[in-house]
Amino acid sequence: MADMRAMLGGGVAATFLGVDDCTLDHLPDGCDIVVLGAPCATPYDWVGPYCKDAPGAIRHASGTYASSRHHHNFDLDGPQVPDGSLVVDGADIGWDAATPAANRDAIRAAVRRVLAAGAVPIVLGGDDSIPIPVLQAYEGRGPLTLVQVDAHIDWRDEVRGERWGLSSTMRRCSEMDQIGTMIQVGRRGVGSARPDDVAAANRRGVQFFDAHDVDRRGIGPVIDAIPHGSDIFLTFDADGFDPTTMPAVIGPEPGGLTYFQGVELIDGAAQRGRIVGFDLVEFVPDNDVNGLGALTAFRLIAHTVGRILQQRTLSRSRVGGATSTSLP
């Protein structure tokens, strides 16, 4: 069968959007964004590394658009990668399902290197626990406004003795000094949360926007909850989106955000403050349908990349070409 990518001038991309690859030891000067693959952090023993192939699948989906990254993107009202911007791909972070603590150390160290270079990390996950080490890397760089899209709230303190796994992500993040406002979007149905977990999240002051709320009132109230001028980290769990758009998850749940509600949230965050990091997790290639999930994941990530590049381009124009390295 003919590869229809050729019609769009695209092909197979070994890197995200076909950008140059690099090592974290030799990040180019002035890079705006570093894409990192994080296949595995802390898999439960009885589940295993269920998203290990996600970074590769997302990069593959990006191949269709690799040759057109400087074309006009109508969702961004500008080129995907503006002239003068630099995006590189730092490849996948090494991992071993048998050594979760070492996996977390490696993710944390990789993100710290990106931040130290003054770039924004874009992390392609990977299991749902990956945001824990990613956000630990921001120690001393807060306060951050954390905006999560997820069907579940991830507030279990532990599961069968594991405190760093996928059901505990937001509780662990809530304990970090650098995390300020917490906004969680898309909860619905039944997950692993117990009533005590919900109560703990409410005591922390989490602002919840259920999927049904978003369906009735739109994404506007979520955007209004983001403090003006804040540094914002976006973390998207794939199952926060409707399975007709994102089928490639562990347990599809009817409802959830649409693709354009995700885009609207990214755009609103960019208008309210500065996006300083992004990850997408729980994309399961083995459960995909005709590549739809990979395409949706890629397009959400690419849209975030575009908005970050626009923000940084505007920042450079305001300060005569200098970009702050204290925070991306």
Domains and CATH numbers, the chain: 8-318 (3.40.800.10)
Residues 6+ apart with CB under 8 A from 311: 270, 274, 275
The torsion defined by the Cα of 85, 87, 88 and 93, in degrees rounded to 10, comes to 140
Residues 6+ apart with CB under 8 A from 327: 115, 141, 231, 274, 276
Helix, strand, coil abundance in the chain, percent, nearest 5: 40, 20, 45
C-alpha dist (Å) from residue 96 to 101, 127, 194, 255 = 10, 13, 31, 34
* pTM of the entire predicted model: 0.94
- Asked, as a colleague might, if the bond just before 126 is cis with ω within 30 of 0, I would say yes
CA dist., res. 120 & res. 141, Å (int): 13
Angle subtended at Cα 267 by Cα 52 and Cα 147, rounded to the nearest 5 degrees? 55
C-alpha dist (Å) from residue 69 to 76, 81, 123, 298, 321 = 12, 6, 19, 13, 23
| Chain CA centroid to CA 165, Å | 17
pLDDT the model gives residue 262: 98
pLDDT the model gives residue 7: 52
DSSP conformational letter for 98:
T
| CB count in 10 Å sphere of residue 188 | 20
pLDDT the model gives residue 325: 38
pLDDT the model gives residue 11: 62
Consecutive 10-residue averages of pLDDT for the chain (328 residues): 50 88 94 98 89 97 91 94 95 96 98 98 96 98 97 95 93 98 96 93 98 97 98 98 96 94 98 98 97 97 98 84 44
Angle subtended at Cα 123 by Cα 122 and Cα 124, rounded to the nearest 5 degrees? 125
On the 0-12 / 13-18 / 19+ scale of CB atoms within 10 A, 326 is: exposed
pLDDT the model gives residue 320: 64
Which amino acid does the sequence have at 276? V
On the 0-12 / 13-18 / 19+ scale of CB atoms within 10 A, 39 is: buried
Residues 6+ apart with CB under 8 A from 257: 149, 185, 186, 211, 214, 219, 240, 241, 242, 265
Residues 6+ apart with CB under 8 A from 307: 76, 266, 267, 269, 270, 275
- Asked, as a colleague might, if the bond just before 143 is cis with ω within 30 of 0, I would say yes
Structure tokens at 108: 């944390």
Report the phi/psi class of residue 137: left, alpha or beta, with left for phi > 0 and alpha for psi in -120 to 50. Answer: alpha
On the 0-12 / 13-18 / 19+ scale of CB atoms within 10 A, 133 is: buried
The torsion defined by the Cα of 298, 303, 309 and 310, in degrees rounded to 10, comes to 170
pLDDT the model gives residue 328: 42
Q: Are 284 and 292 in contact (CB under 8 A)?
A: no
